[in-house]
Amino acid sequence: MPSIFISMEVVDGMYELTEKLRKLAEEVAEELGYEIYKLTFGKGRRRAVLTVAIDKEDGYISISDCENFSRAFEKKLDETEIISSSYNLVIESPGAERELRKPGDFMRFTGKSVKIVLKEPLENRSVLVGQLINANEDLVTIIEADSNRTFEVEYRMIKKANLRLER
């Protein structure tokens, strides 16, 4: 099962509700060939907001993908009546500068430009920006853009990593 980020406001019953929503979203995503990248549910200005970011292993998420998932997920939400009050449903992609969270993310985006924030400095650097040239289950290899030096970084050393739009 892919890792998934869930955030929510802590109020009575919100955790249980969000877990039900996550499970339903995962079912719909699996049926359509997607995975859930992130799911948040909380209060908006006028009504609750359920935001779901979907992803797929074999490419990028298109507007059509978001529409397809939205229709199927909204139908399931209406059938199950999990949310009893009015809400806004937002379906989105992880974005162009998405966070890389697991080894599979790094492997998938080998060759792309990345920014890696380290937990502790490596050769006097706390941030590495460059091209991701290799990734496996234990570490990533990046060629730093400024120095053209190669760094190997174990996942346990990474505080945060994101794709970067090539500038």
Q: Where are the domains of the chain?
A: 8-92, 99-163
Q: Which of 153, 35, 25, 152 is nearest to 89 (CA)?
A: 25
pLDDT beyond 50 at 5: no
- pLDDT tier at 45 (50, 70, 90 boundaries)? confident
- pLDDT tier at 7 (50, 70, 90 boundaries)? very low
Beta pairing, strands 87-92 & 113-122:
unpaired
Please give the structure tokens belonging to residue 60.
Answer: 């990028």
Domain made up of 99-163: CATH architecture: Roll (2.30)
pLDDT beyond 80 at 3: no
pLDDT beyond 50 at 9: no
Mean pLDDT of 137-145: 97
Q: Residue 123 has what pLDDT? A: 95
CB-based contacts of 35, cutoff 8 Å, min separation 6: 2, 4, 26, 29, 54, 55, 56, 57
pLDDT beyond 60 at 41: yes
Mean pLDDT of 135-158: 97
**DSSP H stretches of helix in 33-163:** 63-80, 103-108
Q: Residue 167 has what pLDDT? A: 65
pLDDT beyond 50 at 100: yes
CATH class of 8-92: alpha beta
**DSSP H stretches of helix in 10-119:** 14-32, 63-80, 103-108
Beta pairing, strands 125-135 & 139-144:
antiparallel
Share the mean pLDDT of the chain.
91
Model confidence over 52-95: pLDDT tens digits?
999 998 888 999 999 999 999 999 999 999 998 899 999 999 99
Q: Residue 44 has what pLDDT? A: 83
